Amino acid sequence: MSRASAKIERDKFWERNRKSDGYLLKKTINSGLYKVARAILLFGLCFLIIQPLLNKISISFMEEQDLYDATVISVPRHFTTFNYKLVDQLSDYWTCLRNTVFVALLVSVIQVAACTLVGYGFARYKFPLKNFWFACVMLSILIPPQTISSSLWLHFSFFDVFGIFKAITGKTLNLQNSMAPYIMMCMGCMGLKSGLYIYLIRQFFRNIPKELEEAAYVDGCGKLKTFFRIMLPDAKPILTSCFLFAYVWQWTDSYYSKLFLGKVKLLPKALTSLTGRLGDYFTSLYGLGIMPSAGYEQAMIATGLLMTIIPLLIIYMVAQKGFVESLSQSGIKM
């Protein structure tokens, strides 16, 4: 904008302000103050969320002497990448990463598929004790899974179906240390957070007009064809949200992985046992009685945590647009 045009705009503004008896200037000042306050508030909230992550990134590149140096705050004085190499060595990172990707992907796909069928059934069909079964779904959200951990362990350690396996082979099946418990629980909608996904999917389908299905029935579609050809394409937003939530929660889960997959190397399990492995590493180097300091243990945990969430950050950056759109669309329709 040239100086002449800028001067003309200023003259127009002051002329309009004079005609409004000063109201335009007050409105402009209030609008500017509101924008500044909003920017400060958003910056503060973003800083509160990002600051712990930035702190862990800084610590992960520090040598042990920097951890106890009061003059070192955020920028390492002795920069090093040895912490990442050590965590990789202690946790067998790449093996854990491959196993975690496979388990999280398989479990999430099965879980969302099963919850979609159940959520659609609750939204569209009437059957005996429907409200009772939906109340059970709500209870599965409210009741912590730790309350049934003993029952789950005994059930899959001595698995049987109406006594058939014991009658044929003389003993029950031990399904521990395999993917079978995971898959069976997800297929039965008893996986991690399955009740929440059923509730979200049910609410989504309830807000889709029934006229769409009725029009499909008139055109000759059966119930299954209507579900797969008409309803599922419309449900992409909520299914995307549920899949990403399921994938992230499964990625960071250590409860079910310890309960069922005791011998499978996964990132959450490797992270929880990192300090013990670090102590063994120091013992092998310096002998008995020499243990890592508390600060260095926390630095290793911070490094391991970053190496655990980096794949999730990459997935989010790749799928950011679709994820945000799915949340916004599901929020509007729900």
- How big is the chain by its Cα radius of gyration, in Å? 28
pLDDT band for position 322 (cuts 50, 70, 90)? low
pLDDT at 46 over 80: yes
Q: How far apart are CA 244 and CA 329, in angstroms?
A: 15
pLDDT of residue 75: 84
- Kindly report, residue by residue over 67-108, the tens digit of the pLDDT: 888 888 888 888 889 999 999 998 889 999 999 999 999 999
Tell me what the mean pLDDT of segment 287-311 comes to: 85
pLDDT at 295 over 70: yes
Determine what percent of the chain is predicted with pLDDT higher than 90: 11
Q: How far apart are CA 263 and CA 32, in angstroms?
A: 60
Residues contacting residue 117 through CB under 8 Å, at least 6 positions apart: none
Distance set, CA 184 to CA 87, 120, 145, 262, 278 (Å): 33, 20, 16, 17, 36
- Kindly report, residue by residue over 125-161, the tens digit of the pLDDT: 888 888 899 998 888 888 888 888 888 888 888 888 8
pLDDT at 328 over 70: no
Tell me what the mean pLDDT of segment 10-39 comes to: 82
Q: How far apart are CA 234 and CA 238, in angstroms?
A: 9
pLDDT at 7 over 90: no
Residue 248, sorted as left (phi over 0), alpha (psi -120 to 50) or beta, turns out to be alpha
User: Which of 33-37, 178-182, 251-255 holds the top average pLDDT?
Assistant: 33-37
pLDDT band for position 25 (cuts 50, 70, 90)? confident
pLDDT band for position 334 (cuts 50, 70, 90)? very low
pLDDT band for position 2 (cuts 50, 70, 90)? low
**If we measure between CA atoms, which residue out of 52, 65, 63, 67 comes closest to residue 86?**
63
Q: DSSP labels for 234-281? A: HTHHHHHHHHHHHHHHHHH--HHHHHH-TTS--HHHHHHTHHHHHHHH
Buried b (16+ CB within 10 A) or exposed e, 273-293: ebbebbeeeeeeeeeeeeebe
pLDDT at 56 over 60: yes
Determine what percent of the chain is predicted with pLDDT higher than 70: 94
pLDDT of residue 331: 46
Q: Are 87 and 166 in contact (CB under 8 A)?
A: no
For the entire predicted model, the pTM comes to 0.78
Q: What angle do the packed helices 294-333 and 93-124 form, to 10 degrees?
A: 30
Q: Are 198 and 120 in contact (CB under 8 A)?
A: no
pLDDT of residue 47: 84
pLDDT band for position 332 (cuts 50, 70, 90)? very low
